[in-house]
Structure 1
Amino acid sequence: MGISLSHNPGSGVILGSDPMHVAFGVDINYYRGMGVAMASVMKNNPGMTFVFHVFAFSITDDSRRRLAELESQYGTTVNIHTLQTSVLAEFSQFPCFSQHPLGTFVRLLIPNLLQGVTGKVLYMDADILCMGKLDGLSSIEIDEYIAAVVHDQMETTAKTQIARLNLPHHQYFNAGVMYINVDNWIANDTQNKALTILSTQDLIFADQDALNIVLNGRTKYIEEKWNFRYHLVDFLSRGEKNLRVTEPVVFMHFTGPVKPWHDWCLHEAKTIFIGYQAASSWADMPLDQPKSARELKLFSKFLVKQHRVVDGALWHIRYLCARFVRNLKARAR
């Protein structure tokens, strides 16, 4: 399948040899998270050279400006690859592609687009903070594999999906971090196989499930520190607000609907995020306020769990009002 895109190479100068290529696939709501993730990578790895690749279907002038400022601030390179929506046109009639924003499927396209640019690429979701050194990643041997990955939660997600997808090697990974061998990915026709599966099967975790089917037995499983999932809702729903980590973590992956750039995230993760945001070109951007009825409901719940009952009750009233308005609009359609 041919891919149509426009390419805007960054202005940063690559110093030294063998830079690490890091790629993100984002939609319009994740540029801040991605920019702070980039800053966290560079803050924790001052001796390494990086080339960042941003793949997206759209980008605002403000985000483009901030990425250019980040380049200048760190003397790095950020290449912006603007995809055309026609890239997925032949699959758009299938339910899976109408149920998710197009940005969900960008990571399936990245290795093919980087063919001839780099032999290996580190793919990262935009809701990740780097909290350690990356020098050990490049020494991981993946010549005989398509990607190095990390198991998803073995007692919950992985166990369920291994059975549901009937994976013969009884392994299931989280696709938020993948260290990819580009040539092996392409030789396996991974992109088209995954897109075909998405168009023919009913999958719970969309492209992640498709990748697990296609790459089963072709991945190298590495330590959890490279993709440590931290589901903030679970901790906040129990009234916990301190980061609970017992082992060194390189990539902290904030899965779920609550992100550390949400002002209503009443957790230490928000403070850590703010610290890295201050070291990025997004330093002046205020944190996101709760907007949807779901977010308002979660915020009120978190407040009550932290014994802020009056505040929780007030936000619950806002949630009820938002739900009422939402229901009125639904009836008017």
Structure 2
Amino acid sequence: MSDTRLKISLASDRGMIDAALVVLGTVAEHCSAPLELHFLGHGLRDEDRDRLAHACDAHGCALVLHALQDEDFGDAVQVNENIPLVAMARLLLPRRVSGRVLYLDCDMLVQGDVAELFELMPQGAALGAVRDFYVLDQMRPGSERPEKLAWHSKVLGRSEVEGYFNSGLLLLDCDVIRSDRALMTRMTDFAAANDYRYMDQDYLNVLFDGRVFYLPQAWNSIWGRDRLRAKTLAELTWLPDAERTPATSKVIHYTGPNKPWKSQSKLLALLRGRLPALMKWRRAASGRYA
């Protein structure tokens, strides 16, 4: 496969194939470079693999399918009903992919050219990620909520948790990670990751503490939080300017249990400021990608 292709990765079981195809389609629609998809599939059937192959062909994307078995996750079990076990598959990427790869959760909608991210992260950096917005919002002057940050403080072992990142979008340099043998060994300690409330997200924050290149907030925007995000970022004067711009969301992240493919009240979505993002996903999924 051509070295000019940008490597992206998705991880899914059977229940998220439709959502995964929406992510793939929106990445391809906006990307200025050819793509190579490393798909971490758990429990997929022939029809699922056929759909993936067809979608990749339609988008001119090379497909590398990594078929995962239960034993690939060691003794890990699903401990959070909102985090499927296959989410831990991202920990396997440095063992299965070379060079840089952009991992994306399946509950996302891409609106920007992901090629920009590969240019942003400097050579030698192991991991690029976006600071967790929920953590940042709880640190606004006058709105500090240390009780809400207690778990993150426990995870990182200190009260300063501004570096905690969301693992829904990760730019990994697998070669840099593989060069650190101790880190490589710990990356696939699924039992250790399983001990955390947010599983692999908490664990990745521990593993890469102090080694993260922070990407702009726009690349992992929590849905329905655009106005709040602008307010929060304006008040966090210590945050580097590079993480504030661009203002327009490049990736919408549909966090929480109320995913856009689930039945829900449009009125309630409107009241929560989520209706525009909800409708964007549904339009993208209406026979176009899924």
- Aligned pair in 2 of structure 1 residues 281, 60: CA closer, same or farther (>3 Å)? farther
Deviation for aligned residue 1:165: 1.7
AA aligned opposite 2:221: F
Q: Does 1:104 align with 2:90?
A: no
Q: Which runs of 5+ in 2 are unaligned?
A: 140-147, 229-245, 267-274
Deviation for aligned residue 1:260: 1.5
1:289-308 equivalence runs, <5 A: none
1:1-333 equivalence runs, <5 A: 18-45=4-31, 47-89=32-74, 91-92=75-76, 97-99=77-79, 101-114=84-97, 118-153=98-133, 154-156=136-138, 159-167=149-157, 170=161, 171-188=163-180, 189-196=182-189, 198-199=191-192, 202-230=195-223, 247-264=247-264, 266=266, 267-278=275-286, 280-282=288-290
Q: Tell me, what secondary structure is at the counterpart of 1:30?
A: helix
AA aligned opposite 1:74: H
Q: Report if aligned partners of 2:156, 2:205 keep a CA contact under 8 Å in 1.
A: no
- Aligned pair in 2 of structure 1 residues 62, 161: CA closer, same or farther (>3 Å)? same
Q: Take 1:228 and 1:173, find their aligned partners in 2: how far apart are those partners?
A: 12
Over aligned residue pairs, what C-alpha RMSD do you find? 2.7
AA aligned opposite 2:137: E
Deviation for aligned residue 1:231: 6.2
Per chain length, whose mean CA-contact separation is higher, i.e. which structure has more relative contact order (CA < 8 Å, sep 6+)?
Answer: 2
Q: Take 2:26 and 2:104, find their aligned partners in 1: how far apart are those partners?
A: 12
Deviation for aligned residue 1:198: 4.3
Q: Which moved more, 1:221-230 or 1:273-282?
A: 273-282
Q: Report if aligned partners of 1:25, 1:125 keep a CA contact under 8 Å in 2.
A: yes
Q: Take 1:253 and 1:176, find their aligned partners in 2: how far apart are those partners?
A: 8
AA aligned opposite 1:275: R
TM-score (norm 2): 0.76
Q: Tell me, what secondary structure is at the counterpart of 1:63?
A: helix
Q: Percent identity?
A: 22
Q: How big is each residue's C-alpha offset from its partner over 1:86-117, in whole Å with a ceiling of 9 and x where there is no partner? A: 2233x34xxxx252543131111122111xxx
Q: Report if aligned partners of 1:39, 1:277 keep a CA contact under 8 Å in 2.
A: no
Q: Report if aligned partners of 2:223, 2:253 keep a CA contact under 8 Å in 1.
A: yes
Q: Report if aligned partners of 1:149, 1:222 keep a CA contact under 8 Å in 2.
A: yes
Q: Report if aligned partners of 2:222, 2:253 keep a CA contact under 8 Å in 1.
A: yes
Deviation for aligned residue 1:54: 0.8
Q: Tell me, what secondary structure is at the counterpart of 1:203?
A: coil
Aligned residues: 247
- Aligned pair in 2 of structure 1 residues 228, 57: CA closer, same or farther (>3 Å)? same
